[in-house]
Amino acid sequence: MKKSILPCLVWLLFAMNCFGQEIDSTQIWIENTEQSLSYKTGIIELEEGNAKLNVPAGFRYLDREQSIFVLTDLWGNPADSTVLGMIVPNNLGVLADSGWAFIISFEEMGYVKDDDAEDIDYDDLLKDMQKESEGYNPERIKEGYEPITLVGWASKPFYDKELKTLHWAKELKFGEATVNTLNYNLRILGRKGVYNLNAVATMNELPAVKKHIAEIVRCVEFKDGNKYADFIPDVDEVAAFTIGGLVAGKVLAKAGFFVLIAKFWKVIALAFAAVGGTMFKFFKRKKDNTDSPESTS
């Protein structure tokens, strides 16, 4: 009995050593990736030119090119040319387990009337959105992405009439993921369009995201002549969508954007799975060799 234990311990130590090396190399890769990013703070001139971004205290900004790199190459989303940047908490990297960020984009759709803001039944709207989300899944799967289930509101829609800002949060399940994704949406209304700030996180980060909503809501400032109050009737274009349409995502659907943003939480898990698979093959090969007639003494 004692003779059989020693080889097992040897193989176990070997496996732990391989596993430890994989963890170390993954951590080094994460640290190198984080260090390669160039963050900014202070006042940022947004590429659209109609607003500026006051990066809130406790946050830092990644420009358009780097943000697209994070979203596509690191988090596994489809390329989206509308992205203007992202705001990331100072104490969390984009590859941190509990990391999250606000993605910034602009939709030049015209002036969004807010007359219907207080008349919308958001529970009924949710049911319609759930059906519509399911309808996009065959196309998502065809394009190589996981299906999405809209679980429900993580935070029910609310329109701040004074700040002309709409916010709501959706809880989403991507494929067979064990942790659901949070998309916390802010829409800042202007004269000729809407700024989208979409917090991408897991549901575990909902309290952390909500804690910072007050300063995030005020971080995008339209320049004079582009504010909601600067709208000129009979001159400016009126959007085809109202507040309800923004929540329902009709604008995104019209643009063919059927892919919601997810954080690629599997970077470390995939590395572990890779080394685990290598170890499994190693031990299986060893067992096969041990069981073969040539190896029998």
Q: Which CATH number characterizes residue 210's domain?
A: 3.40.1000
- What one-character DSSP code corresponds to residue 55? P
9 found inside a domain: no
Q: pLDDT tens-digit profile of 44-70?
A: 999 888 999 999 999 999 999 999 998
Q: Which range, 80-89, 139-148, 277-286, has the best average confidence (pLDDT)?
A: 80-89
292 found inside a domain: no
Range(s) of the domain holding residue 87: 39-264
Cα–Cα dist 35/64, whole Å: 17
Dihedral angle of Cα 212, 163, 128, 103, to the nearest 10 degrees: -40
Higher pLDDT, 76 or 175: 175
23 found inside a domain: no
Counted domains in the chain: 1
187 found inside a domain: yes
260 found inside a domain: yes
Is residue 104 within 8 A of residue 86, CB to CB? The reply is yes
CB atoms within 10 A of CB 189: 24
282 found inside a domain: no
Residue 22 confidence (pLDDT): 53
Quote the strand ranges of the chain, DSSP E: 43-45, 51-54, 59-62, 83-89, 101-107, 148-160, 165-174, 181-189, 194-202, 220-222
Residue 26 confidence (pLDDT): 77
Cα–Cα dist 263/86, whole Å: 13
5 found inside a domain: no
Q: pLDDT tens-digit profile of 11-47?
A: 444 544 555 555 577 778 888 888 999 999 999 999 8
**DSSP structure string for 194-251:** EEEEEEEEEGGGHHHHHHTHHHHHTSEEEPTTSBGGG--TTTSPBPS--HHHHHHTHH
- pTM, to two decimals: 0.76
53 found inside a domain: yes
